[in-house]
Amino acid sequence: MTTPSIVWLRRDLRLADQAAFYAASQAGPVIPVYVLDDDTPRHRRMGGASRWWLHHSLERLDADLRARGSRLILRRGKVDEVLPALAAETGASAVHALHHYEPWWRNAERAVGKAMPLHLHHGNTLAPPGSVLTGSGTPFKIFTPFWRALSERMPPAPPLPVPDLTAPTHWPASDPLDSWGLLPIKPDWAGGFRAEWTPGEGGALERLETFVRRAPKYAEHRNLPSMEGTSRLSAHLHFGEVSPAMVWHRTAAAGGSVATFLGEIGWREYAQNVIVQLPDYGNRNAREAYDRFPWRAGPDADADFAAWTQGRTGYPIVDAGMRQLWVSGWMHNRVRMIAASFLIKHLLVDWRRGDQWFWDTLVDADYGSNAVNWQWSAGTGVDSNMFVRIMAPLTQSPKFDAGDYIRQWVPELAHLSDLEIHDPVKPVRGYPQKIVDHAAARARALAAHQALKG
Q: What are the catalytic residues?
A: 264, 267, 295, 333, 351, 374
Q: Cα 446 to chain center, whole Å? A: 31
Between CA 267 and CA 74 the distance in angstroms is 33
Distance (Å, rounded) from C-alpha 300 to C-alpha 306? 10
Local structure of 30: helix, strand or coil? strand
DSSP code for 253: G
Q: Is the peptide bond before 155 cis (omega within 30 degrees of 0)?
A: yes
The letter for the amino acid at 68 is: R
Distance (Å) of CA 310 to CA 32, 303, 305, 322, 351: 40, 11, 9, 7, 17
Q: Are strands 118-121 and 30-36 parallel, antiparallel or unpaired?
A: unpaired
Closest CA to 198 of 63, 84, 20, 306: 63
Q: List C-alpha distances in Å: 38 to 129, 199, 369, 443, 448.
A: 23, 20, 19, 42, 37
